[in-house]
């Protein structure tokens, strides 16, 4: 049986809410239920969402760096007045 994937769009805040909700579900103590085996799929989803959140944070950081470079003219050395001396 093959598995498919789906493109789902969430904001950073929505991802954080999902992570927190999964954490609360996973941390629930349910006695006598398969020794916690029921938690594994939720833990995998939580781990994936944490990785997605980290990727979003890294992309935001890269965008901020690119914007600063554009504002300061670092990408265009011809406009750098200090370099002409």
pLDDT at 79: 56
**What are 12-61's pLDDT values in tens digits?**
999 999 999 999 999 987 777 677 788 899 999 999 999 999 999 999 99
Cβ 19 vs Cβ 51: under 8 Å: no
CA-nearest of 26, 29, 54 to 41 is 26
Report pLDDT for 35: 75
77 pLDDT above the threshold of 60: no
Q: Which residue do the tokens 């406009």 mark?
A: 79
Res 75: pLDDT: 56
The phi, psi pair for 80, rounded to 5°, reads -80, 110
Residue 49 DSSP code: H
The predicted pLDDT at position 36 comes to: 76
Q: Please state whether 44 falls in left (phi above 0), alpha (psi between -120 and 50) or beta.
A: alpha
């Amino acid at each position: 049986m093959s598995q498919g994937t789906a493109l789902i769009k969430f904001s950073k805040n929505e991802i954080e809410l999902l992570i927190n909700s999964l954490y609360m579900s996973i941390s629930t103590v349910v006695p006598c239920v398969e020794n916690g085996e029921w938690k594994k799929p939720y833990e995998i989803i939580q781990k994936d969402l944490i990785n997605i959140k980290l990727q979003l944070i890294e992309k935001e950081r890269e965008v901020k760096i690119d914007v600063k470079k554009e504002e300061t003219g670092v990408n265009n050395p011809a406009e750098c007045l200090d370099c002409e001396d």
